Structure 1
Amino acid sequence: MKYGLFNLTYKREISKKTVEIGEEFQITTTIENRKMLPITFLQVEEKYPKALGIENYNYNLFIMPYQRVKRTYNLSGNKRGAYFLRNVVLGIGDFAGFNMERKGIEFLQEVLVLPKSLKLQEAVVPYGNFNGPISVKRWIIDDPLMTIGIREYTGYEPERYIHWPSSLKYGQLMVRNFDFTTDNSVLILLNVESMKPFWVGINEDVLEKSISLCRGLMEELEEEKIPYGFTTNAYGININEKQNYYPKVGQNHLNYLLETLSKISYGASMPFEALLEYFLKRKGNHTTFVVVTPKIFSSYIEPINVLTKTANRVVVISLQEENLNRLSNNIIKYVEG
């Protein structure tokens, strides 16, 4: 009892820190008795998130002097999320457990379970009069020889898009409606409000579908090598984090955003219309905005319509048809199919 915890070490290793739903990974624990005295009764108390398949994992050991005991077991996540593996308690005492000396060992390890991937072609159908292949190519890549033209400046476009000769001719600021193929980039905006206000109720199924659609979008954009960024009004995701919304391509960028998707909570840090207005004021250089939302609330209509004046193309993917008919006809719309 007096010397049992002396020179006793515990180590825990995780084989994978990012896994798919249902994918197995290994936890390996190593306990080492670094002294001449044996430990006749060691109680180990490990706690894991329930979603990983094991909640409380307790076992007893007899350890000889200078002996190392290694245990390996498999876990798997059954639900998207960020899961923390926390502290471990070691107990020294008698077999009956009446007299115990305990020691807590601090651990904080994270396992990320990624969302499922939903492909556009499998999950959504066009809404209204829009017909054509359900693909990011339809949104981005048009005929490079087509004439785009000039339109009136709304105050939201970057100054570099102003066409000065036309502005002088018409007596007001005009901007270029440029070719998509010259400067393509996409910003995906995920809304986690399934009700108004969000805390009235949360529809987990529809939010998980929305998150899975975002993953499918990112993977398709990555495959087409079209720069893409991501932002959301989910609590805990910083919209000022440039690494999120700045358009990029590459496996590291995709991995970072997929890990971000795994961490998304159901709580909203702000109304979705506030997020839209934030990016309207930024006057960024994204040529296409893709809104992924459980539904379109009335308060979203005006800021989404304004997006059509700041970007070449706006796409709305709503899992419900409500209010889609009130959006601009220039917007490409999809619903769950």
Structure 2
Amino acid sequence: MELAAIILIIIAVIAAEVLIFGKYALKGIYYSASVNKTEVSEGETLELTEVVENRRFVALPWIKTELSASRWLAFLKKDSAVQTSGGDNTFIPGVFTLKPRSKCTRVRTIKCLKRGVFSFDDTIITATDMLGLVKVSQAVKVGISITVLPTSSDSEDALLSFDEPIGDISVRRFINEDPFIIAGAKEYSGREPLNRINWKYTAITGNLMAARNEFSTTRNTLILMNMQRKRVLPVTAADIRDIEALIKLAVKLMEDSIYNGCSFAFATNGGSSCGIASDIIKTEEQK
């Protein structure tokens, strides 16, 4: 009789624990995630910080988080060793044990393998009771977006030649003189403003001399990237590889233009019905 009573009490306690845990398992549990950088280049790393907080006065012995991420965001070995693949996404698990009124922070290092815009949409939080009889899951919206910029091409072929004059170049005649290009000095005629007087040549010659300016014009560069395909066929892996190479080449042309002090604009017909060129991008010296 006593044994039966003990068994009934144990069953009642377990049933109460199951009911209470199933109802209040994730009450007062808060999850958040953030990244230290939202814009990086291919091959660079960033840090993802996960915070799980228990605001209750009851400990939580076991809680699991499963973060959904793109397979082009590579986690460290200690994280990726247990990740599971789901097509283009991977699921990164994390296990926590929380004391009452405590908070746990985990920092993960991510390497960005490919250009694009990637996001962490949501995280699945799963809590289990001490007996392992009940599992309660809840989806938490994360809403983190990461922009991975393409890197420049390593190829030296088919690049823009900067042997030709690009930028501000002297011409024989134009509408107005360029006040920033001084070619020498000339005798002061009285029509020049006083701030154009060249005191150095005035002292050398003994006559009042003014600065002589050149006429100039500016040549800008327009980088066009054509995304049209000649064949009405499904896109293959080779086509994607060629497009990626074109994007990297366009980035290299932009970097070379900036390095050589040449302003440029960029236009493409990818993703829209018509290609619209960007505004002319100038270097700091040209602004």
* Alignment coverage as a number of residue pairs: 208
For structure 1, list consecutive stretches of 5 or more residues without a partner in the other structure: 127-133, 149-179, 252-337
Report whether the alignment pairs 1:101 with 2:136. yes
Residue number in structure 1 paired with 2:198: none
Cα distance, 1:41–1:245 mapped onto 2, change above 3 Å: same
Cα distance, 1:97–1:56 mapped onto 2, change above 3 Å: farther
Amino acid at match of 2:265: G
Residue number in structure 2 paired with 1:75: 110
For structure 2, list consecutive stretches of 5 or more residues without a partner in the other structure: 1-20, 76-89, 175-214
Conservation of the 8 A alpha-carbon contact between 1:194 and 1:203: no
What's the Cα RMSD here? Answer: 3.0
Residues in 1 aligned to 2:243 and 2:158: alpha-carbon distance in whole angstroms: 18
Residues in 1 aligned to 2:274 and 2:134: alpha-carbon distance in whole angstroms: 49
Residue number in structure 1 paired with 2:197: none
Residues in 1 aligned to 2:150 and 2:71: alpha-carbon distance in whole angstroms: 18
Residue number in structure 2 paired with 1:266: none
Q: What secondary structure is seen at the aligned counterpart in 1 of 2:228? A: coil
Cα distance, 1:14–1:143 mapped onto 2, change above 3 Å: closer
| Equivalent position to 2:156, from 115, 123, 144 | 123
Amino acid at match of 2:227: V
Per-residue CA deviations over 1:186-244 (Å, capped at 9, x if unaligned) read 3221112354236454512221111011111111222334332212121269845xxx6
Residues in 2 aligned to 1:238 and 1:85: alpha-carbon distance in whole angstroms: 32
| Equivalent position to 1:246, from 257, 274, 279 | 279
Report whether the alignment pairs 1:188 with 2:223. yes
Report whether the alignment pairs 1:37 with 2:58. yes
Residue number in structure 1 paired with 2:68: 47
Residues in 2 aligned to 1:104 and 1:237: alpha-carbon distance in whole angstroms: 38
Residue number in structure 1 paired with 2:94: 59
Per-residue CA deviations over 1:44-65 (Å, capped at 9, x if unaligned) read 1111111112421112222011
State TM-score, norm by structure 2. Answer: 0.63
Conservation of the 8 A alpha-carbon contact between 1:187 and 1:245: no
Cα distance, 1:23–1:143 mapped onto 2, change above 3 Å: closer
Conservation of the 8 A alpha-carbon contact between 1:186 and 1:228: yes
Q: What secondary structure is seen at the aligned counterpart in 1 of 2:126? A: strand
Larger Rg belongs to: 2
Cα distance, 1:135–1:181 mapped onto 2, change above 3 Å: farther
Cα distance, 1:143–1:89 mapped onto 2, change above 3 Å: closer
Amino acid at match of 1:86: D
Q: Percent identity?
A: 21
Conservation of the 8 A alpha-carbon contact between 1:141 and 1:181: no
Per-residue CA deviations over 1:250-306 (Å, capped at 9, x if unaligned) read 58xxxxxxxxxxxxxxxxxxxxxxxxxxxxxxxxxxxxxxxxxxxxxxxxxxxxxxx
Residue number in structure 1 paired with 2:25: 4
Conservation of the 8 A alpha-carbon contact between 1:222 and 1:250: yes
**Deviation, structure 1 residue 142:** 8.0
Q: Which has the higher strand share?
A: 2
State TM-score, norm by structure 1. Answer: 0.54
